[in-house]
Structure 1
Amino acid sequence: MTAHATRDHILAEATRLFVEEGYVGLSMRQLAERVGVSKAGLYYHFRDKESLFLAILTANLLEIEKIIQQARAAGVTARDKIERIFRDIFARTPEQQAIIRLASQEIDHLSPEARASFRQLYHQKFTFQIQAILQEGIDAGELRPMDARRATWILLGMMYPYFYPSHRKEMGDPMQALDLMLTIFFKGANAETPEG
Structure 2
Amino acid sequence: MESNRLDEHETARCILEEGWQLFQQKGYRGVSIDELCLRCKLSKPTLYYYFQDKENLFVQILQYKLHGFREIIERPGSLRERLQAIAAEILDSFQTDYSSLLRDREHLKRPENLVRIRDAFHNELFGPMIALMQAGIDAGELRRDDPTLLALIFMGSVNNFIGKAADLHTDNPSLAGKLTDYYIEGSRNRP
The question of a shared fold, defined as TM-score above 0.5 by the shorter chain, is answered with yes
Note the alpha carbon deviations across 1:90-144, whole angstroms, 9 max, x for none.
3x3xxx3237625324222223331222112211211111111110111122222
TM-score under structure 2 length normalisation = 0.80
1:21 maps to 2:26: yes
Specify which of 62, 67, 71 is matched with residue 67 of structure 2. Answer: 62
The residue correspondences of 1:59-138 to structure 2 (distance < 5 A) are 59-69=64-74, 71=75, 73=76, 75=77, 77-90=78-91, 92=92, 96-98=93-95, 101=98, 103-111=101-109, 112-138=111-137
Greater RCO (Cα-Cα under 8 Å, separation 6 or more):
2
- SS of structure 2 residue aligned to 1:8: helix
Query: Cα 1:98–1:106, aligned 2, differ >3 Å: closer, same or farther?
Result: farther
8 Å Cα contact 2:24/2:96 also seen in 1: yes
Partner of 2:184: 186
Q: How many positions carry a matched residue from both structures? A: 179
Counterpart CA distance in 2 for 1:67 and 1:118 is 20
Counterpart CA distance in 1 for 2:107 and 2:52 is 16
Between 167-176 and 146-155, report the one with greater CA deviation: 167-176
- Structure with greater helix share of residues: 1
- SS of structure 2 residue aligned to 1:98: coil
Counterpart CA distance in 1 for 2:137 and 2:26 is 41
Larger Rg, first or second structure (1 or 2): 1
Q: Which runs of 5+ in 1 are unaligned?
A: none
Partner of 2:42: 37
Q: Which runs of 5+ in 2 are unaligned?
A: 1-7
Partner of 2:5: none
TM-score under structure 1 length normalisation = 0.78
- Using the TM superposition, give the Cα deviation of residue 153 of structure 1 relative to its aligned residue in structure 2, in angstroms: 0.6
8 Å Cα contact 2:27/2:101 also seen in 1: no
Query: Cα 1:46–1:146, aligned 2, differ >3 Å: closer, same or farther?
Result: same
The residue correspondences of 1:160-179 to structure 2 (distance < 5 A) are 160-163=159-162, 165=163, 167-168=164-165, 170-172=167-169, 173-179=171-177
